[in-house]
């Protein structure tokens, strides 16, 4: 699974041969105010994220951070179910807007004036959405969140209309995107008139989320857009880094607050060290996977790979909140969260991350084997939170989670290294003889 070398289509560029483009070089590139919006080459050498895309990601950090903080606050106040439901809705809006922009940019980023302005309008919508997260969680008031989301999507409609004009071969695809997005945004605005109850809010959100998910499948049923596999893999990797960064932010902020109030304790130290170990293990596990090679070899992976990442992204965001709760529980007894419950708030998202990543790898490689290590890891993770009942407390539960995750990561690293060594040996065996070996 991890560490394999997938067959490459003719003309494809291997991910380890792609030359990165520095931000400084991109900043000095000639700027054209208006250019035809035509598809970018799918095997363009040196394709990397632009400074505008990096700025776009930076704005999304604000929205993700707001959702993570409100989830932790809601759980700490004893509203687990309601907070998880609100978080799922907010995170879907964040992820879906980011994902649609990413795939569109991979196909049609001409980086001219109108394109940049449209992306900046999307950024403004992200900030409005982030500002409305508190109202969505506390009062089920989605007015600001919906307006921010619709603002982002209206900008996407403008971009697709430009693409329809510039890319005549895929005009039907682009127009279906524009029409589909416009219809769903009208429904989002109409949803604001629905009663502000959790049942109504969740039901209408689920229905419209399914409509959003159906638009790309409908739009691309005849002609697919021309996205760049290495660019997409890099963009998803960058969003993963944003979410891993939330782990660092939450752990440091939570530790600082607790240190200011009670001072350093064994529990706080244990949770903090385990959080750092989890960060490193999950980072290594994700970036060990040859994502770009999978996408270059199998372009049919676009939908399962793109949609499947929502489990990975959401798991990391929930993990950040779970670590915040674990830090609080490690020295406070009045929270409505048990030590075992706090342990599961860490273990369950870690398990979801690993299972989703493993599943995507198996799908990409068409592999049905190699599930025993995953099964053993899941069993170990399921048992880890019960260590909170011992003298180790919640620090023991988080520590056991980090230990199991590290063991699985070490196994995958060893297997990937063995696969790499085997590939190197095979390449040496098929190397043609030199002039001196006649």
Buried/exposed code over 251-283 (b: 16+ C-beta within 10 A; e: otherwise): beebbeebeeeeeeeebbebbbebbebbbebbe
Same domain, 216 and 236: no
| 325 within 8 A of 75, measured Cβ to Cβ | yes
In order along its 438 residues, the chain shows pLDDT tens digits of 444 434 444 444 444 433 344 444 444 457 788 888 899 988 888 888 999 999 999 999 999 999 999 999 999 988 999 999 999 999 999 999 999 999 999 999 999 999 999 999 999 999 999 999 999 999 999 999 999 999 999 999 999 999 999 999 999 999 999 999 999 999 999 999 989 899 999 999 999 999 999 999 999 988 889 899 999 999 999 999 999 998 888 777 766 776 777 677 777 888 888 999 999 999 999 998 888 888 888 888 888 889 999 999 999 999 999 999 998 888 776 788 888 988 999 999 999 999 999 988 888 777 666 778 888 889 999 998 888 788 788 889 999 999 999 999 999 898 888 766 655 555 555 555 555 544
| Helix residue ranges, H only, 263-338 | 266-287, 291-297, 302-329
Same domain, 266 and 375: yes
Same domain, 232 and 213: no
Same domain, 53 and 135: yes
Q: Output the pTM of the full model.
A: 0.86
Number of domains into which the chain is organized:
2
**Final residue of a domain: which of 227, 254, 281?**
227
Same domain, 219 and 358: no
Q: Which domain holds residue 276?
A: 228-427
Same domain, 198 and 271: no
Same domain, 220 and 338: no
Per DSSP, the three-state class of 110 is coil
| 189 within 8 A of 150, measured Cβ to Cβ | yes
Same domain, 242 and 209: no
**Final residue of a domain: which of 227, 252, 278?**
227
Same domain, 273 and 405: yes
Q: How buried is residue 247: exposed, middle or buried, by Cβ count under 10 Å (0-12/13-18/19+)?
A: buried
User: Per the domain annotation, does 41 fall within a domain?
Assistant: no
**Final residue of a domain: which of 163, 194, 227?**
227
User: Per the domain annotation, does 15 fall within a domain?
Assistant: no
User: Per the domain annotation, does 134 fall within a domain?
Assistant: yes
Same domain, 268 and 396: yes
Same domain, 247 and 165: no
User: Per the domain annotation, does 154 fall within a domain?
Assistant: yes
Tell me which DSSP letter residue 299 carries.
Answer: G
Same domain, 275 and 406: yes
């Amino acid at each position: 699974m991890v560490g394999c070398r997938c067959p490459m289509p003719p003309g494809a560029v291997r991910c380890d041969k792609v030359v990165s483009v520095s931000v400084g070089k991109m900043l000095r590139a000639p700027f054209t105010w208006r250019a035809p919006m035509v598809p970018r080459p799918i095997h363009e050498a040196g394709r990397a994220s632009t400074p505008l895309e990096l700025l776009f990601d930076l704005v999304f950090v604000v929205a993700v951070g707001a959702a993570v903080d409100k989830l932790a606050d809601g759980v700490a106040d004893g509203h687990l179910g309601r907070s998880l439901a609100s978080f799922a809705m907010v995170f879907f809006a964040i992820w879906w807007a980011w994902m649609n922009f990413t795939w569109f940019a991979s196909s049609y980023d001409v980086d001219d004036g109108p394109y940049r302005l449209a992306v900046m309008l999307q950024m403004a919508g992200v900030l409005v959405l982030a500002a409305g997260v508190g109202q969505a969680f506390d009062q089920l008031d989605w007015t600001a969140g919906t307006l921010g989301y619709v603002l982002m999507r209206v900008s996407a409609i403008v971009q697709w209309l430009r693409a329809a004009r510039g890319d005549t071969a895929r005009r039907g695809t682009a127009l279906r995107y524009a029409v589909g997005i416009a219809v769903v945004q009208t429904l989002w605005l109409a949803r604001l008139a629905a009663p502000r109850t959790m049942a109504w809010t969740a039901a209408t959100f689920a229905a419209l989320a399914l409509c959003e998910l159906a638009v790309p499948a409908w739009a691309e049923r005849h002609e697919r857009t021309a996205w760049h596999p290495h660019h997409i893999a890099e963009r998803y990797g960058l969003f993963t880094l944003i979410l891993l960064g939330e782990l660092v932010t939450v752990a440091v902020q939570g530790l600082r607050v607790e240190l200011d109030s009670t001072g350093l304790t064994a529990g706080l130290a244990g949770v903090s060290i385990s959080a750092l170990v989890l960060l490193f293990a999950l980072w290594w596990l994700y970036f060990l996977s040859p994502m770009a090679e999978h996408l270059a070899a199998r372009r049919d992976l676009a939908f399962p790979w793109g949609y499947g990442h929502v489990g990975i992204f959401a798991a990391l965001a929930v993990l950040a909140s779970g670590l915040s709760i674990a830090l609080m529980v490690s020295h406070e007894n009045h929270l409505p969260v048990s030590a075992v419950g706090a342990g599961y708030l860490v273990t369950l998202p870690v398990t979801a991350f690993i299972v989703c990543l493993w599943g995507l790898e198996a799908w990409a490689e068409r592999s049905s084997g190699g599930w025993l290590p995953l099964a053993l890891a899941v069993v170990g993770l399921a048992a880890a939170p019960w260590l909170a009942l011992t003298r180790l407390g919640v620090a023991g539960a988080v520590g056991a989670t980090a230990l199991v995750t590290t063991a699985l990561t070490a196994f995958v690293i060893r297997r990937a290294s063995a696969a790499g060594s085997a590939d190197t040996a095979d390449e040496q065996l098929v190397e043609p003889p030199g002039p001196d070996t006649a």
